[in-house]
Amino acid sequence: MDVILGKIATLGPPLLLGAVTTVTITLVSLIIAIILGLTLALIQRARITWLNWIIAAYIELFRNTPVLAQLFIIYFGLPYLGYKIPSFLAAVIGLGLNGGAVLAEVFRAGIAAIHVGQREASLSVGMTPWMAMRYIILPQTWRMTLPPTGNYAIALFKDTAVVSAIAAPEIMFYARTLVASTFETAFIYLLVALIYFVLAFPMARLVDRLERQQRAWL
């Protein structure tokens, strides 16, 4: 027992330090993804053909290639163009761009699901199209897309593990370093899994609750 506690005492702190980075990367990427996704979904509604082509190409490109490849291209590719960026920045840009593509589709579908009559009623009372979007359509879209966005956030949280590949100092990165010096492979990854679980489980429960509430509302 003491042996195990001793191990936890030495291995725990660096892993928790990594967990802080993991959570930070998740939150920053999520914010980028939400802003980007929403912006793209709104631009798509303006139905400007050439812009929509570009957005569609971007979405398909990011949805149909591995995140790992995207991260490598950003982290190792940008220096060729003269922009050397730290691994943390590369990580949030990569995950943010990737998430933007995912959430653009979620938000686009969410906006499209609001009956056109809702918008016409808004215009008929003298709202501008922007006011209709802001006060009538987006609040409903937001509620509807909260569960899928939450699910995406959980997936993103777990996917941050890949950014250890570009040496961003998150949990997996520390785990690998610790394995190299202690050879406690199984034990370390057990701790890692535990940390992920403790953080992700409450989020998953919250999303479940939102989903149930929404079913009651619809």
Partner 1 sequence: MAALLRVDDLYKDFAGLKVLKGVSMTLERGHKTAIIGPSGCGKSTLLRCINYMETPTAGHIHLDGELFGETQNGGKYQRMSEKQLARQRSQVGMVFQGFYLWPHLNARDNVAIAPMKVRGMEKRAAYELADAMLEKVHMSHKRDEFPERLSGGQQQRVAIARALAQQPKLMLFDEPTSALDPELVGEVLKVIQELAAEGISMVLVTHEVRFARQVADHVIFLGDGVVVEEGAPDQVIGAPKHERLRSFLKQILEH
- Residue closer to partner 1, measured from CB, 125 or 180: 125
CB neighbour list of residue 16: distance below 8 Å, 6 or more residues apart: 195
Of the candidate residues 24, 140, 177, 214, the single one contacting partner 1 (CB under 8 A):
140
- Which range in 43-51, 112-120, 146-154, 162-170 contacts partner 1 by CB under 8 A? 112-120
Where are the strands (E) in the chain, listed by range? none
Q: Does 113 bind partner 1 (CB under 8 A)?
A: no
Q: Which is nearer to partner 1, 119 or 176 (CB)?
A: 119
If one asks whether residue 117 binds partner 1 (CB under 8 A), the answer comes out as yes
65 touches partner 1 by CB under 8 A: no
Query: Which tokens hold the place of 70?
Result: 């995207």
Residues 6+ apart with CB under 8 A from 187: 7, 11
Contact between 60 and partner 1 by CB under 8 A: the answer reads: no
DSSP 27-86: HHHHHHHHHHHHHHHHHHHT--HHHHHHHHHHHHHHHTS-HHHHHHIIIIIGGGGT----
- Residue 121 binds partner 1 (CB under 8 A): yes
Nearer to partner 1, 32 or 138 (CB): 138
Least distance between partner 1 and beta carbon 120 (Å) = 6
Q: Binding segment for partner 1 among 55-63, 97-105, 122-130, 188-196 (CB under 8 A)?
A: 122-130
Helix 49-63 and helix 2-45, axial crossing angle in degrees, nearest 10: 160
* Angle at alpha carbon of residue 75, lines to 56 and 86, rounded to 5°: 120
Would you count residue 82 as binding partner 1 (CB under 8 A)?
A: no
Phi-psi group of 58: left, alpha or beta (phi > 0 → left; psi -120 to 50 → alpha; rest → beta): alpha
Q: What are the tokens at 198?
A: 């403790």
Q: With respect to partner 1, which residue has the nearer C-beta, 136 or 178?
A: 136
For position 10 contacting partner 1 by CB under 8 A, the verdict is no
For partner 1, which residue of 27, 28, 68, 127 counts as binding (CB under 8 A)? Answer: 127
Is 136 a binder of partner 1 (CB under 8 A)?
A: yes
Residues that bind partner 1 (CB under 8 A): 115, 117-118, 120-129, 131, 135-136, 139-140, 143, 217
